[in-house]
Structure 1
Amino acid sequence: MTRTSTRRDWLRLADQALAGQPLTPEQGLDVLLAPDDEVLPLLHAAFAVRKHYYGKKVKLNMIINAKSGLCPEDCGYCSQSIVSTAPVSKYSLLDKETLLAGAREAMSRQAGTYCIVASGKGPTERELNQVIEAVQEITATMPLKICACLGLLKEGQAKRLADAGVHRYNHNVNTSRSNYAAITTTHTYDQRTETVRRAKAGGMSACSGVIIGMGETDEEIVEMAHALRELDADSIPINFLNAIPGTPLAHAERTPAMRALKVLALFRFVCPSKEIRVAGGREVNLRSLQPLALYAANSVFVGDYLTTGGQDVADDHRMIEDLGFEIERCAL
């Protein structure tokens, strides 16, 4: 395939993905380097894959920032890291009643998955027990799937979370192996992938994704997509950097909307059957083209993120309705 690919060429990629044949690195670059006037045919092909696995359904997820700030890690993108001077709230793990209230809010937003996210390197025993207690009550009283994101997991912690009712564990790879040291120095890429594997071995579904816009090359974006295919992550959040003042990456340029759409198409082709989620930064980077993202992705966060605001929930619901798509209800 050449850089002047036609509509028929993109549909061949869709056929290839549906046949279970991974894209070559060269084909991945063709997607990222496609001319902007090829984006609609490209999305048409990505949608053929998305529709095969998910029809016109959209999964909604809601985040609660269960523990904010107080993090010893030096991740350059994060307003909660030890090197950030961004003015963020700092508090220890929320109590059970607050976590339960968040679950009820997720239900009101029609979210099927409630994501309990805590800052820090990994959970202490006390924090793990608090989360387990809350999850047990939530799953006993509400038709919600629970995703936990608590940092690096130690031996045995994944099974305890799974036994409590945590359906999914999130731990993003964030960037490519070769770009990792430029983003953080307080833990390694391999530590992150090991936690993903521990989550799966412990009985949870694996959620792992990336942040686009942190100085990575096109080749590294293709590398990330194939790494997540190899990890067999069931859910892949695609974040686009929201450069926050006070963080080391504060001056990074936003990802142009058309490029963001090409990235989403790439991940759909490389990981065809997986839940691809348009995650943090979609409002800032995709701007008015947000609806087009759902032709490649089948999942979004509704409401605010950890320390940044999101689109109004009613606007998200209208966006899905106007596309002729439908919100997927939680099926436990």
Structure 2
Amino acid sequence: MILNSLADRAIRREAPSRAEALAVLSDEHDLLDVVAAAGRVRRHYFGHRVKLNTIINMKSGLCPEDCSYCSQRLGSSSDILKYSWIGAEEVAEAADRAVEAGAKRVCLVASGRGPGDRDIARVVERVEAIKDRRPQVEICVCLGLLRDGQAARLREAGAYAYSHNLNTSEENYGRICTTHTFADRIETVRQAMAEGLSPCSGAIFGMGESDEDIVDLAVRLRELDPDSVPVNFLIPFEGTPMGGRWELTPTRCLRILALFRFFFPDVEVRLAGGREIHLRGLQSLALHLANAIFLGDYLTSEGQPGEDDRQMIADAGFTVEGLDEQTLPAARHDLVALRRRGAGTDLPSNA
């Protein structure tokens, strides 16, 4: 009865209470009952469509920030690809391949604290190169902390969204990063929204957060009212402070996804980094909660082949969302595969 009530209220866009949210994360309710209730909300707003997103890492590594989960962080000894800005033509070609493979949104990412004016000019050139060839594709940009006027330049060039995750609760934030604050991240999301960019902001789980932290973060994200919420599960790269953290289980991941569907019933909840290694054989069950996934590789790690993703979607009874369809309504270390293909290399991506 409680789960049915949660689903009914979520369909009315009402958030769970703190006690209800904590119960979803606990073993108070059977996992399949939780998935069924949250899945009803997902189907109400998104049917059986799965939106495909892809990442193009335009500049990799050598970031001055100390985010302890990131393989590109200051002091990281992870053996990742490191390169400066790849050209506009390479970015546009990578976007072409991803769209041909079914991607509806292309996420352009560059490492760093935040862009300078020259960086914005570079990104504008790359956005325009993609839009010239693929005018229908959504372009999301993720460049770190924004300064005044930068979001407007990106929107004017044709960017659709700006992505900047809150990652964890405000109380927990200082434990994972010291070079910027939770408030800095909130401000960047608000700047992007103010300039007309669709806000994309989510989280990373598996960093030692408590159930209370998860609920706190969901509440703060809901206050921001993003259009899309990426749910990442920590990829514990060797060479980072969190290289040894393997605390997630598939069932834990599913409960977190269900909770986020209750909090964000009509929002694009995107299954993002770490899904392959933490959900493992239960990835297809997660499609009953998330209505979007990343196709292909991530920033510095490899994802499963796009052909496998598309087969998984079909086998689970879902369909890939087309470019013309409206999206939004009116644990093992040896499983981390460092990315050696796609942007910044001579090899094609696996999309």
Q: Which residue, out of 294, 300, 303, partners 2:296?
A: 303
Q: Which residue, out of 27, 30, 37, partners 2:20?
A: 27
Q: How does 1:49-68 map to 2 (within 5 A)?
A: 49-68=41-60
Structure 2 residue 108 is the aligned partner of structure 1 residue 108: no
Structure 2: segments with no counterpart, 5+ residues: 327-351
Structure 2 residue 318 is the aligned partner of structure 1 residue 325: yes
Q: Deviations over 1:48-69 (max 9, x none)?
A: 1111111100000000111001
Distance 1:78 1:250 in 2: 10
Structure 2 SS opposite 1:71: coil
RMSD: 1.1
- Counterpart of 1:151, as a letter, is G
Q: Deviations over 1:144-193 (max 9, x none)?
A: 11000011100000011011110010000011000000000000000001
Residue number in structure 2 paired with 1:132: 124
Q: Which residue, out of 72, 77, 85, partners 1:80?
A: 72
Structure 1 SS opposite 2:64: coil
Q: How does 1:9-20 map to 2 (within 5 A)?
A: 9-20=2-13
Report the number of matched residues: 324
* Deviation at residue 252 of structure 1 after TM alignment: 1.0
* Deviation at residue 34 of structure 1 after TM alignment: 2.6
Q: Which residue, out of 46, 62, 66, partners 1:70?
A: 62
Structure 2 residue 205 is the aligned partner of structure 1 residue 186: no
Distance 2:185 2:67 in 1: 13
Q: Is the 8 A contact 1:254 1:285 kept in 2?
A: no
Q: Is the 8 A contact 2:13 2:266 kept in 1?
A: no
Q: How does 1:129-278 map to 2 (within 5 A)?
A: 129-142=121-134, 143-278=136-271
Q: Deviations over 1:2-41 (max 9, x none)?
A: xxxxxx3211110011122211111000100035x71111
Structure 2 SS opposite 1:225: helix
* Deviation at residue 89 of structure 1 after TM alignment: 1.7
- Counterpart of 2:252, as a letter, is R
Q: Identity across aligned pairs (percent)? A: 49
Distance 1:81 1:215 in 2: 19
Residue number in structure 1 paired with 2:32: 40
Q: Is the 8 A contact 2:206 2:234 kept in 1?
A: yes
Distance 1:19 1:134 in 2: 40
Distance 2:55 2:252 in 1: 26
Task: State which drifts further: 269-278 or 139-148.
Answer: 139-148
Q: Is the 8 A contact 2:202 2:230 kept in 1?
A: yes
Task: State which drifts further: 10-19 or 204-213.
Answer: 10-19
Report the TM-score, using the length of structure 1 for normalisation.
0.96
* Deviation at residue 137 of structure 1 after TM alignment: 2.6
Structure 2 SS opposite 1:63: strand
Residue number in structure 2 paired with 1:4: none
Residue number in structure 2 paired with 1:3: none
Residue number in structure 1 paired with 2:281: 288
Structure 1: segments with no counterpart, 5+ residues: 1-7
Q: Is the 8 A contact 1:283 1:311 kept in 2?
A: yes
Distance 2:280 2:31 in 1: 16
Q: Deviations over 1:64-118 (max 9, x none)?
A: 1110012100010001011211111221111111111111111122000001010
Residue number in structure 2 paired with 1:95: 87
* Deviation at residue 312 of structure 1 after TM alignment: 1.0
Distance 1:81 1:71 in 2: 5
Task: State which drifts further: 309-318 or 129-138.
Answer: 129-138
* Deviation at residue 286 of structure 1 after TM alignment: 0.3
Q: Deviations over 1:120-149 (max 9, x none)?
A: 001121221111112123113212110000
- Counterpart of 1:84, as a letter, is S
Q: Is the 8 A contact 2:201 2:229 kept in 1?
A: yes
